[in-house]
Amino acid sequence: MKFTYCPHCGTKAIPKEIGDEGMIPYCEACKIPLFEMFSTCVLSIVVNEQNEVALIQQSYGNPRFAGVAGFMKCGETAEDAAKREVIEEIGLVPESVTFLESHWYDIKCQLMLGFMVHVKKDEFRLSDEVAQAQWFSFEDAVHTVREGSIVQKLIQKAETMV
Specify the residue, 6 or 90, whose C-beta has the smaller distance to Zn ion.
Answer: 6
Which amino acid appears at position 142 of this protein?
V
CB of 40 to Zn ion, least distance (A): 23
CB of 8 to Zn ion, least distance (A): 4
Specify the residue, 27 or 97, whose C-beta has the smaller distance to Zn ion.
Answer: 27
CB of 25 to Zn ion, least distance (A): 10
Specify the residue, 23 or 109, whose C-beta has the smaller distance to Zn ion.
Answer: 23
Specify the residue, 6 or 97, whose C-beta has the smaller distance to Zn ion.
Answer: 6
Please check whether residue 60 is in contact with residue 131, taking contact to mean a CB–CB distance below 8 angstroms.
no
SS3 per residue for 44-86:
EEEECCCCEEEEEEECCCCCCCECEEEECCCCCCHHHHHHHHH
CB of 16 to Zn ion, least distance (A): 13
- Contacting residues toward Zn ion, per CB under 5 A: 6, 8-9, 11, 27, 29-30
Residues in Cβ contact with 26 at an 8 Å cutoff, skipping those fewer than 6 apart: 13, 14, 15, 16, 18, 32, 33, 34
